[in-house]
């Protein structure tokens, strides 16, 4: 068994295989040599426990790095663009609409620098990449990861290559190009892009944030659990709803809650974990419904491109967590996703992308199915910004009224609009 001793004052102890427990040095590797299981960061929790307190965290940076002892880095040079500590909003109007008493929205649509939760995972991955000596970084992306990697690599002065499926939304392509990486638009879906990138990673020795750096990358998602607990005054919620693409974010939110319990920062209590997928790419929801403990890959066909991963790497772990926590994994159609985007915008003033629409629509579906108790403290993770997926929603958002610059023209338009509203309203009564 490969076991290199780690010399470091950090709490990171190395990597460990999730399946067989084999241990490895904290290098750029992600698959177990013995059983091909995924590798995960391992920590000295006693060291963390003795080092962190509510006060030490509160005194830390106003970013994900306030939770640094829980993150897989060893040096002092952190990449900190202020990522994280996004708002946790107590919902009033959406909660009332759904009949929930304690609904909260974790709003990563306004995360920085690139307006999605991916800024968290990339800040961690590239900090570690630099510690490991990489000067060129890369990723296979469904869009948001491309934006975050390109932006944060630019900030850190790393050379950057981004691989995306060629049919990505324009906002996500532009939101990558602007940072100046080499962008490769691959004629294929995300799963094909990912396969290609595994080959490139082997051959070129670059740091791929979601391939050979994946054990570091994925740990960044735990900050979504830490922040919610801190923002709820160091209480865990009763139930969370989060989107599932590869299943990394969902499983790491769970790991984050467990780590807070393990280190005594919150009281032990169960958190029900529910997951959201788009029906056009819902292999994990299908397996959940079918009572299977394996995930059958699918070919994605949905407007929710940011979560369209047909062969999810952490799918089986997500299934296990949903079942043992008493949560559920459900999927919604593209038209429900559009309704979800509009519902969140029109009740809470938050414009999310298709992944957020998926999560809100699944929340609604779970409430209607009686799977969310109205009294439970429920947190919904809104993971990306709507301005990046405009083509998905533009046809359904309505049109401005075109008028001349005169009061008469305005009054005529207003009358017309009110008549149309009345007709709309009468139709909904039928
Ligand atoms: C990447 C992404 C997710 C979830 O991805 P996982 O692979 O499951 O970690 C969720 N929402 C958005 C907006 C994303 O970009
Ligand atoms: Zn193994």
pLDDT band at 18 (very low <50, low <70, confident <90, very high): very high
**pLDDT more than 90, % of the chain:** 92
According to the model, what pLDDT value does residue 202 have?
87
Q: Residue whose CA is closest, atom 12 of ligand 1?
A: 383
pLDDT bin (cut points 50, 70, 90) of residue 2 is very low
Q: What is the pLDDT of residue 314?
A: 97
d(CA 306, CA 245): 8
Q: Nearest bound ligand to CA 1? A: 2
CB 342 within 8 A of CB 395: no
Closest C-alpha residue for ligand 1 atom 7: 246
Mean pLDDT for the stretch of residues 176-194? 95
> Is the CB of 218 within 6 Å of ligand 1?
no
* 144 in a labelled binding site: yes
- Could you tell me the pLDDT band of residue 426, with boundaries at 50, 70 and 90? low
Say what the pLDDT of residue 423 is.
Answer: 73
Q: Which whole-number Å values give the CA distances from 234 to 108, 224, 227, 231, 262, in the listed order? A: 20, 13, 9, 7, 14
Q: Is 149 in the pocket of ligand 1 (CB under 6 A)?
A: no
Rounded CA separation 229/225 (Å)? 6
Atom number in ligand 1 closest to CA 252: 9
pLDDT surpassing 60 at residue 38: yes
> What is the per-residue pLDDT for 9?
63
Considering only 17-26, 208-217, 413-422, which range has the smallest mean pLDDT?
413-422
User: Which atom, in ligand 1's list, is nearest to the CA of 143?
Assistant: 15
Span from the CA of 423 to the centroid of ligand 2 (angstroms): 63
If you average pLDDT over residues 128-157, what whole number do you get? 97
Q: What band does 101 get if pLDDT is binned at 50, 70 and 90?
A: very high
The per-residue pLDDT for 349 is: 98
**Mean pLDDT score of the chain, rounded to an integer?**
95
Mutate-to-test residue for ligand 1 from 249, 276, 302, highest number of ligand atoms within 8 A of CB? 249
Of 257, 275, 213, 232, the C-alpha closest to 27 is 213
Complete domains list, the chain, with CATH: 12-70 (no CATH), 88-115+219-394 (3.40.50.1100), 117-214 (3.40.50.1100)
Task: Say if ligand 1 is within 6 A of residue 357 CB.
Answer: no
In this predicted structure, the answer to whether residue 429 has a pLDDT above a threshold of 80 is no
Rg (CA), the chain: 22
Residue 383 annotated as part of some ligand binding site = yes
Tell me, using a 6 A CB cutoff, whether residue 306 lines ligand 1: yes
CB contact at 8 A, 256 and 42: no
**Model-wide pTM > 0.75:** yes
Q: Answer whether 247 contacts ligand 1 (Cβ < 6 A).
A: yes
pLDDT band at 56; cut points 50, 70, 90: very high
- Looking at residues 114-132, what average pLDDT do you find? 98
Can you give the pLDDT at residue 302?
96
pLDDT tens digits along 401-424? 999 999 999 999 999 989 888 777
Tens digits of per-residue pLDDT, 294-330? 999 999 999 999 999 999 999 999 999 999 999 999 9
CA 105 to ligand 2 centroid distance, Å: 37
Query: Is residue 6's pLDDT more than 70?
Result: no
Task: Compute, in degrees rounded to 10, the torsion defined by CA atoms 119, 124, 126, 132.
Answer: -170
Query: What is the rounded CA–CA span in Å between residue 369 and residue 336?
Result: 15
Distance CA 286, CA 289 (A): 5
Q: pLDDT tens digits, residue range 353-407?
A: 999 999 999 999 999 999 999 999 999 999 999 999 999 999 999 989 999 999 9
Atom of ligand 1 nearest to the CA of 246: 7
CA–CA separation, 222 vs 206, rounded Å?
Answer: 25
Q: Which of 41, 78, 36, 43 is nearest to 61 (CA)?
A: 78
> What is the Cα–Cα distance from 148 to 131, expressed in whole angstroms?
19
Q: Are strands 102-107 and 12-17 parallel, antiparallel or unpaired?
A: unpaired
286: exposed, middle or buried (Cβ count in 10 Å: 0-12, 13-18, 19+): middle
What is the 3 state secondary structure string of the chain?
Answer: CCCCCCCCCCCEEEEEECCCCCEECCCCCCECCCCCCEEEEEECHHHHHHHCCHHHHHCCCCCHHHHHHHCCCCCCCCCCCCCCCCCEEECCHHHHHHCCCEEEEEEHHHCCCCCECHHHHHHHHHHHHHHCCCCEEEEECCCHHHHHHHHHHHHHCCEEEEEEECCCCHHHHHHHHCCCCEEEEECCCHHHHHHHHHHHHHHHCCEECCCCCHHHHHHHHHHHHHHHHHHCCCCCCCEEEEECCCCHHHHHHHHHHHHHHHCCCCCCCCCEEEEEEECCECHHHHHHHHCCCCCCCCCCCCCCHHHCCCCCCCHHHHHHHHHHHCCCEEEECHHHHHHHHHHHHHHHCCCECHHHHHHHHHHHHHHHCCCCCCCCEEEEEECEEHHHCHHHHHHHCCCCCCCCCCHHHHHHHHHHHHHHHHHHHHHHHC
> Which ligand 1 atom lies nearest to the CA of residue 354?
13
- Our mutation pick for probing the ligand 1 site, out of 307, 314, 392, counting the most ligand atoms within 8 A of Cβ, is 307
Confidence of residue 41 (pLDDT cuts 50, 70, 90): very high
Residue 280 φ/ψ, nearest 5 degrees: -75, 0
Residue 284 C-beta-side C-alpha neighbours within 13 Å: 34
- Does ligand 1 come within 6 angstroms of the Cβ of 222? no
Q: Is 243 in the pocket of ligand 1 (CB under 6 A)?
A: yes
Cβ atoms within 10 Å of 301's Cβ, excluding its own: 13
pLDDT grade, residue 427 (50/70/90)?
Answer: low
């Amino acid at each position: 068994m490969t076991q290199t001793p780690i010399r470091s004052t950090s709490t990171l102890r190395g990597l460990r295989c999730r399946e067989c427990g084999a241990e490895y040095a904290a290098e750029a590797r992600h698959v177990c040599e013995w059983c091909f299981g995924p590798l995960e960061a391992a920590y000295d929790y006693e060291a963390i426990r003795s080092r962190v307190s509510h006060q030490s965290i509160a005194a830390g940076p106003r970013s994900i790095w306030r939770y640094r002892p829980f993150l897989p880095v060893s040096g002092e040079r952190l990449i900190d663009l202020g990522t994280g500590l996004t708002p946790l909003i107590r919902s009033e109007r959406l909660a009332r609409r759904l009949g929930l008493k304690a609904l909260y929205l974790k709003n990563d649509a306004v995360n920085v620098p690139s307006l999605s939760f991916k800024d968290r995972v990339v800040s961690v991955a590239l900090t570690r990449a630099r510690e490991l000596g990489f000067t060129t970084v890369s990723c296979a992306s469904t869009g948001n990861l491309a934006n975050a990697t390109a932006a944060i690599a630019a900030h850190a002065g790393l050379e950057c290559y981004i691989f995306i499926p060629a049919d990505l939304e324009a906002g996500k392509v532009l939101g990558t190009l602007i940072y100046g990486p080499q962008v490769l638009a691959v004629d294929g879906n995300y799963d094909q892009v990912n396969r290609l990138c595994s080959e490139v990673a082997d051959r070129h020795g670059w740091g791929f944030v979601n391939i050979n750096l994946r054990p570091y990358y994925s740990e960044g998602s735990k900050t979504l659990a830490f922040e919610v607990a801190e923002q709820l005054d160091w209480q865990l919620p009763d139930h969370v709803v989060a989107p599932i693409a590869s299943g990394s974010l969902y499983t790491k939110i769970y790991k984050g809650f467990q780590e807070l319990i393990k280190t005594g920062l919150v009281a032990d209590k169960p958190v029900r974990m529910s997951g959201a997928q788009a029906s056009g790419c819902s292999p994990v929801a299908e397996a959940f419904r079918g009572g299977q403990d394996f995930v059958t890959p699918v070919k994605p066909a949905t407007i929710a491109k940011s979560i369209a991963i047909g062969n999810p790497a952490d799918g089986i772990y997500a299934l296990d967590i949903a079942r043992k926590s008493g949560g559920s994994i459900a999927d919604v159609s593209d038209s429900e996703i559009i309704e979800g985007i509009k519902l969140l915008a029109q009740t809470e003033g938050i414009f999310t992308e298709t992944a957020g629409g998926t999560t809100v629509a699944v929340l609604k579906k779970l409430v209607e199915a009686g799977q969310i108790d109205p009294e439970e403290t429920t947190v919904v993770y809104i993971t990306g910004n709507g301005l990046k997926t405009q083509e998905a929603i533009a046809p359904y958002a309505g049109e401005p009224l075109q008028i001349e610059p005169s009061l008469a023209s305005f009054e005529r338009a207003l009358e017309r609009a009110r008549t149309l509203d009345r007709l709309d309203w009468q139709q909904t009564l039928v």
